[in-house]
A and B are shown apart, each in its own frame.
Chain A
Amino acid sequence: MLQKPRLLTVLDVVAIVSFIIATALVFFYAPLERVMGAVQKVFYFHVAAGWVGMLSFLLAAIVGVLYLIRKDLKWDFVGVAAVEIGIAFTLINVVTGAIWARPIWNTWWTWDPRLTTATIMELVYFAYLMLRSGIEEPERRARFGAVYAIIGFLSVPLTFFSIRLFRTIHPVVIGSNDPGAMGAFDMTPRMTQVFLFSLVAFSIVYFDLLWHRIRLGKLAERVESLRLKLQA
């Protein structure tokens, strides 16, 4: 029986605590931004979620390469966990992006390169899950997942460049005169501190969730093999 490791419980606590602290910092410690007001505070979580989501997909691609070389299924557990959680964090990134955009540009959506790339990336990883769900054999599922995670991740920078190039030639039609920045502002030292802390907090929460998800995958596989043994 896979006992829940003590370290994981500790991590759970640390994650919850740091998240609460980060939220408190965002609301009480960080200053109110001059132009945008309260909505700017979305930025701290928006960027943190975006970075963590992106790194998660990078992890999935690296683990995919490892799986193709080593053919050890343990890499697959990490891969699918990384993708699922990456999807969650990227979704937070996209939604907070929309929340930020609404009061500023008076629209829910701008075709900002980063936001658009994040959405396309999200679609790639949804496709990853759909691919996996269509395949029964664990080994083949792992192989295909690995291949698509690699292909998907390689396409992201190219997607970003193509959309950014698109935008500099055709300035945004809605709202802003400045096609580059989405509500750019300079960060005071306090803001920087809150931002960095948010990033750390999100990373801890991420690793906590990742670990849990990997354990979940392993336990599910255990259940499946026990079930097959009973049937035979």
Chain B
Amino acid sequence: MTALIVVRALVKRFGAKVVLRQLNFEVQKGEFVALLGPNGAGKTTFLRILASLARPSMGEVRVAGFRLPQEAAAVRRRLGVVSHQPLLYGDLSAEENLRFYGRMYAVERLENRIQEVLDLVGLVARRRDLVRTFSRGMQQRLAIGRAILHDPDVLLLDEPHTGLDQDACDMLDGVLRQIASQGRTVVMTSHDLARVEDLASRFDVLTGGRITASRPAADLPRDGLLAFYRQALDDQRMNQRAVQ
């Protein structure tokens, strides 16, 4: 069984600054991986590389069997991405946004699919309303709808809970659980440990430019995520000091 996402010895440099160093990462089909780490650790950069929006400086990246960046076009078809920003056009309605992206992804039976997706994210009543009138929570839900419109195998989410209140977060989680239960593979970065603890099947910690710790949810004691995370950060700090 080959993994759906395989990353080996990934290095990413911005000029002289090295952000990701020799990063290894593997995700099997159906896993829901939560990627944790302090600010500036490189989570967003890593996700952008997986999303084919950024190029690796060195190393091997494979998503759904296709190499990045060489076979990026094939990867994009199988990828759904939700980032900080909603990636939605404010002056278009919810369904117009979906229609646009549906055309760009050559989605079949588009009108049916739009209805399905709006149903899933609970926005059928607001389908004709302009996105700029939506609250942030609604925009995020629509953004997820956009991301799964073309039925991707892999879903990448970059801190989707940012800026949402409790209710909105709960709704978002509901949607995420449903999507995950459909057999999709999910990689999500997050700062909100409490939320993530109930969603993910595996927790990885990215610090110092690489994945330094990884634990399946099953192996963690209840409410043990915070301790695991803290431990991983402490270990990394000690290693850093040892090197210097």
Cβ contact within 8 Å between B14 and A137 = yes
Q: Does B221 contact A (CB under 8 A)?
A: no
Q: How far is the CB of B107 from chain A (nearest CB, A)?
A: 32
Cβ contact within 8 Å between A224 and B14 = no
Q: Which B1-22 residues sit within 8 Å CB-CB of chain A? A: 14-17
User: Which residues of chain A are near B15, meaning CB under 8 Å?
Assistant: 137-139, 221, 224-225, 228
Q: Which A-chain residue is minimally distant from B13 (CB atoms)? A: A139
User: Which residues of chain B are near A138, meaning CB under 8 Å?
Assistant: 14-15
Q: Which A139-159 residues sit within 8 Å CB-CB of chain B? A: 139
Give the secondary structure class of A's interface: helix
Interface string of B61-79 (1 = CB under 8 A from A): 0000000000000000000
Bound form: Cα–Cα A225–B17 in Å = 7
Bound form: Cα–Cα A232–B243 in Å = 13
Bound form: Cα–Cα A88–B221 in Å = 69
Bound form: Cα–Cα A139–B16 in Å = 11
User: Which residues of chain A are near B14, meaning CB under 8 Å?
Assistant: 137-139
Q: Which B-chain residue is minimally distant from A141 (CB atoms)? A: B15
Bound form: Cα–Cα A221–B14 in Å = 12
Bound form: Cα–Cα A65–B153 in Å = 37
User: Which residues of chain B are near A228, meaning CB under 8 Å?
Assistant: 15-17
Bound form: Cα–Cα A137–B17 in Å = 11
Q: How far is the CB of B132 from chain A (nearest CB, A)?
A: 28
Q: Which B-chain residue is minimally distant from A225 (CB atoms)? A: B16
User: Which residues of chain B are near A137, meaning CB under 8 Å?
Assistant: 14-15
Bound form: Cα–Cα A221–B15 in Å = 9
Bound form: Cα–Cα A232–B17 in Å = 9
User: Which residues of chain A are near B16, meaning CB under 8 Å?
Assistant: 221, 224-225, 228-229
Q: Which A-chain residue is minimally distant from B16 (CB atoms)? A: A225
Q: Which A-chain residue is minimally distant from B57 (CB atoms)? A: A139
Q: How far is the CB of B62 from chain A (nearest CB, A)?
A: 21
Bound form: Cα–Cα A137–B14 in Å = 7
User: Which residues of chain A are near B17, meaning CB under 8 Å?
Assistant: 228, 232
Q: How far is the CB of A74 from chain B (nearest CB, A)?
A: 14
Bound form: Cα–Cα A225–B15 in Å = 8
User: Which residues of chain B are near A225, meaning CB under 8 Å?
Assistant: 15-16
Q: Which B-chain residue is minimally distant from A227 (CB atoms)? A: B16
Bound form: Cα–Cα A229–B16 in Å = 8
User: Which residues of chain B are near A224, meaning CB under 8 Å?
Assistant: 15-16
Q: Which A180-232 residues sit within 8 Å CB-CB of chain B? A: 221, 224-225, 228-229, 232
Q: Which A13-38 residues sit within 8 Å CB-CB of chain B? A: none
Q: How far is the CB of A80 from chain B (nearest CB, A)?
A: 15
Bound form: Cα–Cα A130–B61 in Å = 36
Q: How far is the CB of A215 from chain B (nearest CB, A)?
A: 18
Bound form: Cα–Cα A218–B177 in Å = 52
Q: List 17 A-B contacts (CB under 8 A).
A: A137-B14, A137-B15, A138-B14, A138-B15, A139-B14, A139-B15, A221-B15, A221-B16, A224-B15, A224-B16, A225-B15, A225-B16, A228-B15, A228-B16, A228-B17, A229-B16, A232-B17
> A221-B15, A228-B16 known; 15 other A-B pairs, CB under 8 Å?
A137-B14, A137-B15, A138-B14, A138-B15, A139-B14, A139-B15, A221-B16, A224-B15, A224-B16, A225-B15, A225-B16, A228-B15, A228-B17, A229-B16, A232-B17
Binding site for A on B (CB under 8 A): 14-17
Q: Which 4 interchain pairs have the tightest Cβ spacing?
A: A225-B16, A138-B15, A228-B16, A228-B17
